[in-house]
Structure 1
């Protein structure tokens, strides 16, 4: 396991793959610390739109959204999604959104 430290000094445990051990500890500040690990320099309004869509979808359905529905719902192209989340549009976004590792991700 590893950890991240938020700007306010909180230390959060991560799994070996970089997902939150305790997803209930997620906050925007935690998301910003996770983004730095994912080599996302700044979370823009578009990032937050994706992050909150994914969190809401997960809360309602218990799984991460399919990439096609994510793109349609937040009005973003697949290319843009890869640009915003370079480690992978679903895996990277799930990490930053504080969600568990999605099924099917290697």
Structure 2
């Protein structure tokens, strides 16, 4: 018998869920991680589309004194930032995500 995992709906997401997903990916969540996760999540909830990395970086840098770049994201989310951010945020992968 195969048991399928029920996917989280966007309204079922919470920080405990995010921490578990991150932990399984070997990521220890910090304030920098949460800033990105909440931005991606809020973007999705507002526009009903996951933010591509380029838009995510531009928007975060617009609001933040300390700028981040794609290398910063790779350090925070080492195994494909787009997918890891989406998973931890409980949102779909961006359309152009490989």
Larger strand fraction of residues: 1
* Match of residue 32, structure 1, among 6, 19, 26: 19
Secondary structure at 1:90 match in 2: helix
- The residue number in structure 1 matching 2:57 is 71
Given the superposition, is the C-alpha separation of residues 36 and 73 from structure 1 closer, same or farther in structure 2, using an over 3 Å criterion?
Answer: same
Larger helix fraction of residues: 2
TM-score of the superposition, structure 2-length normalised? Answer: 0.79
Secondary structure at 2:87 match in 1: helix
| Counterpart-to-counterpart distance in 1, 2:69 and 2:19 | 23
Higher relative CO (Cα under 8 Å, sequence separation at least 6) belongs to 2
- Aligned pair count reads 90
Secondary structure at 2:81 match in 1: coil
